[in-house]
C-alpha cells in the first residue's frame, strides 16, 4: 500500500493551506485537520505519516534532526576552539603585572592575532547554537526557548566585543615612537582592557544552557540522566558566575565549576551527531 505521505502532501496543496496555516497545523500536536477542512477518509494519513509530515522544518526549513546535528558540531567546535583560545591567551599574556604582560604580547604578536580569530569563531558558534537549540526545543515551550535563544545570542554579542579589545591591547603592546601613548595612559588603558569580563559573558551562557537543558529534559528529547546532568551543570554556573563577577567567589572552585558542563556538552554533542533528537514526548505516537 502506498504511503500516505504523498497523498497528505497533495491534499494540503489542493486545500490551499498557506505557510501560516501550515505552521499552525505543525503546532497542533499531531491533529493537523482539527481546525480546517477534512480529508476524505481514503486520504486520511496514519499517525506516523502525520508525524513525518508535520515535523518542524519538513516543508519550510531544516528538520529537527538536522538542527541537532549542526548543534552537535557547534558544541564540539566551541569546546575545542575555546580551550585552544585559553591556552594561546595564557601564553601570549604571561606576566606578573601589566607591563610584563604587554611585553609578552609584543613578543607573541601572532598568538594574539590567533586569539582574535578564534574569538570570532566562538561568537558564531554561540549564535548558531542559539538558533539550532531554539529550533529543537520551541515545540516544548516557545517562550522559554525564545528566552534561551536570547541569552545565547547575548553571549555571542557580548563576546564579540572582546575581539576589538584584544586587538587594541596588541596595538598598545607594539606601539612605538609618536604613535605610542604615554606610560601612565598605556598602563591605565591596558589594565581596563585586561579586566576579567568572562564571568559576565558566561552568565548569559549559563542561563541559556539552563533553559535549553530543562526543555530537552522535560520533552524527553535526550536521555533523562544526560538532561539532569545538564540542568545541574547549568544551575551551578548560574549560581557561581555572578558571585565570581562581583568578587565573592575565589579559589579552586572557579577552576572546577565548568567541569560538570564539559561532561554534559560533550556527550550531548555526540548524542546529537549519532542519534539526532527525539520529538517532544507529547508529540510522540501513543
Contact predicate 265/80, CB 8 Å: no
Residue 17 and residue 12: Cα distance in Å, rounded? 6
DSSP letter for each residue of 85-136: HHHHHHHHT-SSSHHHHHHHHHHTHHHHHHHHHHHHHHHHHHHHHHHHHHHH
Pair 165, 196: CB distance under 8 Å: no
Q: Domain map of the chain by residue range? A: 4-53, 64-277
Number of CB atoms found within 10 A of residue 10's CB: 11
pLDDT, one tens digit per residue, over 228-276 is 999 999 999 999 999 999 989 888 888 899 999 999 999 999 999 999 9
DSSP string spanning 180-204? SPPHHHHHHHHHHHTS--HHHHHHH
pLDDT per residue as tens digits for the range 31-67: 444 444 444 444 555 554 554 444 444 444 678 999 9
Report the C-alpha gap between 144 and 278 in whole angstroms. 19
pLDDT tens, 125-142?
Answer: 999 999 999 999 999 999
Q: Residue 107: what are its φ and ψ, rounded to 5°?
A: -80, -20
Rounded Cα distance, 90 and 103, in Å? 14
3-state SS class at 18: coil
**Range of lowest pLDDT (106-120, 166-180, 210-224, 257-271):** 166-180
Which helix H or strand E contains 243, and what residues bound it?
Answer: helix 224-245
> The pTM is what?
0.77
Q: What share of the chain is helix, strand, coil (3-state, %, to 5)?
A: 75, 0, 25
For residues 148 and 170, what is the distance between their CA atoms, to the nearest angstrom? 34
Amino acid at each position: 500500500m502506498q504511503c500516505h505521505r504523498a497523498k497528505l502532501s497533495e491534499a494540503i496543496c489542493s486545500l490551499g493551506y498557506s505557510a501560516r496555516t501550515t505552521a499552525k497545523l505543525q503546532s497542533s500536536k499531531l491533529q493537523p485537520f482539527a481546525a480546517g477542512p477534512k480529508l476524505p477518509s481514503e486520504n486520511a494519513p496514519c499517525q506516523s505519516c502525520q508525524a513525518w509530515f508535520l515535523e518542524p522544518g519538513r516543508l519550510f526549513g531544516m528538520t529537527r534532526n538536522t538542527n541537532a546535528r549542526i548543534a552537535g558540531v557547534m558544541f564540539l567546535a566551541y569546546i575545542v576552539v575555546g580551550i585552544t583560545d585559553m591556552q594561546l591567551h595564557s601564553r601570549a599574556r604571561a606576566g606578573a603585572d601589566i607591563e610584563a604582560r604587554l611585553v609578552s604580547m609584543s613578543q607573541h604578536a601572532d598568538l594574539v592575532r590567533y586569539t582574535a580569530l578564534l574569538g570570532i569563531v566562538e561568537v558564531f558558534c554561540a549564535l548558531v547554537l542559539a538558533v539550532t537549540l531554539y529550533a529543537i526545543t520551541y515545540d516544548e515551550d516557545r517562550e522559554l526557548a525564545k528566552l534561551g535563544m536570547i541569552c545565547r545570542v547575548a553571549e555571542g554579542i557580548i563576546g564579540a566585543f572582546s575581539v576589538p579589545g584584544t586587538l587594541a591591547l596588541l596595538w598598545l603592546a607594539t606601539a612605538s615612537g609618536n604613535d605610542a601613548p604615554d606610560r601612565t595612559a598605556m598602563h591605565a588603558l591596558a589594565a581596563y582592557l585586561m579586566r576579567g569580563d568572562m564571568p559576565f559573558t558566561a552568565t548569559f551562557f549559563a542561563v541559556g544552557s539552563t533553559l535549553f537543558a530543562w526543555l530537552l529534559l522535560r520533552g524527553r528529547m535526550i536521555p533523562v540522566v544526560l538532561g539532569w546532568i545538564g540542568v545541574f551543570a547549568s544551575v551551578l554556573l548560574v549560581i557561581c558566575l555572578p558571585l565570581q563577577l562581583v568578587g565573592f567567589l575565589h579559589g579552586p572552585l572557579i577552576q572546577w565549576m565548568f567541569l560538570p558542563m564539559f561532561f554534559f556538552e560533550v556527550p550531548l554533542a555526540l548524542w546529537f551527531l549519532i542519534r539526532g533528537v527525539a520529538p517532544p514526548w507529547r508529540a510522540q505516537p501513543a
